[in-house]
Structure 1
Amino acid sequence: MKPLIVATGLLLAGGAAGLAALLLQPPEGQAVIDPNDARLVDVGLQIYRAECAACHGMDLEGQTNWRERNAAGRLPAPPHDPSGHTWHHPDDHLFAMTKYGVAALAGGNYQSDMPAYDGQLSDREILAVLSYIKSTWPPEIQDRHDDINRRFRAAQD
């Protein structure tokens, strides 16, 4: 469906599920994370170092005990290397989590230290960071992620 039609239907239907579906729609023409675009990856590395590395680590290693809630009840920053779960999510979800924050997508009173980068980073900058992250994964993990994207997009049609 075209984004305008989807947005109109969601506005008429209302509800949190409709809003979440709208948020998961990346900007048209910019939805693909591209680890093979050297210029995009280089820009992404610079932004990652400035905006993400403080929590996710300079080597994408994440924080210790990232699967266990801390004293505040929040999950520490996960790794973005192959040991983490980043590659388990399709591009559309990774983009939306980065742009709008995890809490906006999880709904309810979900608490996360992950900030929303909407208004701080452009869509292209978000995709650059995600492209950098994906570029660090071994080919077999990139292939598995590509398969996740294919299955996700086929389910959207």
Structure 2
Amino acid sequence: MTGPAVAAVLLAKAAFFAGPWERAAPEAGLFRPHDAARVARGRELYRQHCAVCHGAELEGETPDWRSRDEDGFLPGPPHDETGHTWHHPDQVLFDITKYGLAEAANLPDYKTRMPAFADVLDDGEIIAIFSFIKSRWPDDIRERHDAMNMRHHVTIGDGR
């Protein structure tokens, strides 16, 4: 074999063996921020059901979202990287949205204006909304969120 032929064979072997391991790690969790159709549907649903409290650009209801209002309620927090949404595993976010914070967190006396969406959105729609939200986070935040999902064993089920 000549030098160029040997080099071609070595490159082909390297590409074959490196291929699967050089790819980015698969997403962990329920949410699919790289699924364009799901993200587009989630964007639409977010605008209909969430933007009024969490901001059209995921910026939150008010800049001071950590302070309770005069009635003792916290405003809708941002869902972008400045908020705390990405600090929670997918299943927790899903449960809070579907069942409401008080039930999902077992805090019956917690004051919140966040409704439960079990009778409004189906599981796939909730997942689509969070797929949209997660698609807007910077790569490093998504990677940290995926790692958290792996630690909490939140994995893709039936894709709801």
- Give the TM-score band, short-chain normalised: 0.7 to 0.9
Please give the residue correspondences for 1:116-135 in structure 2 after superposition, counting only pairs within 5 Å. Answer: 116-135=116-135
Deviation by residue 1:74-107 (Cα, 9 ceiling, x = unmatched): 1110000000000000000010011011121232
Partner of 2:114: 114
Work out which of the residue numbers 51, 60, 63 in structure 1 matches 2:61.
Answer: 63
Partner of 1:150: 150
Stretches (4+) displaced over 6 A: none
Alignment pair present for 1:141 and 2:153: no
Q: Which has the higher helix share?
A: 1
- Contact in 1 for aligned 2:52/2:61 (Cα 8 Å): no
Gaps of 5+ in 2: 1-28, 155-160
DSSP-derived class of the 1:153 partner: coil
Partner of 2:3: none
Deviation by residue 1:17-61 (Cα, 9 ceiling, x = unmatched): xxxxxxxxxxxxxx6111011000000000000100001000000
Partner of 1:89: 88
Separation in 2, partners of 1:105, 1:38: 29
DSSP-derived class of the 1:68 partner: coil
How big is the shift at 1:63? 1.8
Partner of 2:99: 100
Separation in 2, partners of 1:58, 1:41: 15
Separation in 1, partners of 2:58, 2:133: 8
Two-structure CA RMSD over aligned residues (Å): 1.2
Q: What letter corresponds to residue 36 of structure 1 in structure 2?
A: H
Separation in 1, partners of 2:102, 2:69: 16
Separation in 2, partners of 1:103, 1:68: 18
Q: What letter corresponds to residue 108 of structure 2 in structure 1?
A: G
Provide TM-score, normalisation by structure 2: 0.75
Provide TM-score, normalisation by structure 1: 0.76
Larger radius of gyration: 2
Gaps of 5+ in 1: 1-30
Partner of 1:47: 45
Separation in 1, partners of 2:135, 2:100: 22
Aligned positions, number: 124
